[in-house]
Amino acid sequence: DDMPLYHQLYECIKKEIVSSRVEVNDKLPSIRSLADYLNVSRNTVDMAYQQLLAEGYVESRPKSGLYVTNTQFDLLQTDKKPTVFLHPHSETKSCTYDFRYGKVDSRLFPLNEWKKRYNESLQTYREALFTYQESQGEESLREEIATYLYQSRGVVCSKHQIIIGAGTQQSLSLLAQMLKQSIRDIAFENPCYDGASFVFKQHGFSLKPVSLNNKGINIQELYDSQARAVYVTPSHQFPYGMIMPVSRRIELLKWANDCNGFVIEDDYDGEFRYKGSPIPSLQSLDTKGRVIYTGTFSKSFMPS
């Protein structure tokens, strides 16, 4: 067939060994004799033998040759069928309205411009693209993000404060590893984005649900929770959608100062408004370094 000869020979001998038709301690023919018998080159046999040797099916005994190793192949469940795990949305069904969150209108994406810039980057920055970069993310990208955040969301930060991750959950996982050195309880809006609560739960945090009202998270309940960190979505509460007014934001920052804690601001959908300008971020009001701002380009750019 189309498979190289040495690989065909390797597969054939391996199958004989696994099925015990060639038994433990059986000696394989010499390279010369097998090559002559099969009418193939010695290199073909040698490459097949080297693969069997590398994978441990045979062993080399000095001045003697290659012998089948003592391996309990009967422990392998050869009749077991692979388990298929289906994603809940793996089946495509036609529907009149699609209420799943996180989708974007791909028709609006400037594909031709993207391809042009992509090819330009590959040609211009080839050396940099194929090597490891800064652990926080590429410096020039962090610099652009810092400028963008200030102009669009009022976030005041430098490029040195930015860490680029592979999405909100991965970034929260990094954050959880840092916070759990000094914090064990974390408060959450109830209801909240379950992807975030799942991350902190997996890292061993005790979750403290706090109810919502028309202004957002209940501050008195937050004090009562004894937590020193809270996860909120002030610009567009998920899933209810209300916007936290400036009065409640100031109360939240006061809570963080009072308990020497942190506010994790997930700027979910912060760029989007049906009317008027986007609401400035909670971080833009913070003067004490209490707000840890997280954002994503999944809506303004693309989820992938």
CA angle (196 as vertex; 191, 200 as ends), nearest 5: 110
Gap between the Cα atoms of 205 and 79, Å rounded: 42
Confidence of residue 265 (pLDDT cuts 50, 70, 90): very high
pLDDT of residue 273: 74
Here the CATH number for the domain that contains residue 50 is 1.10.10.10
Longest dimension (CA), the chain: 89
* Integer angstrom CA distances of residue 235 from 92, 195, 257, 263, 278: 32, 18, 21, 14, 8
Domain boundary among 17, 40, 73: 73
Examine the domain organization and report whether 170 and 69 are in the same domain: no
Distance in angstroms (rounded) separating the CA atoms of residues 94 and 72:
51
Helices 168-179 and 194-202, interaxial angle, to 10°?
40
Q: Tell me which residue range forms the domain holding 50.
A: 5-73
In tens, the pLDDT along 93-144 reads 678 887 877 777 788 889 999 999 999 999 998 888 888 889 999 999 999 9
The CATH number of residue 261's host domain is: 3.40.640.10
pTM: 0.72
Domains of the chain: total? 2
HSE (CB half, 13 Å, CA atoms) of 46?
A: 4
Residue 304 lies in a domain: no
Q: How far is 231 from 217, CA to CA, in rounded Å?
A: 10
Q: Is 84 within a domain?
A: no
CA atoms of 32 and 43, how far apart (whole Å)? 10
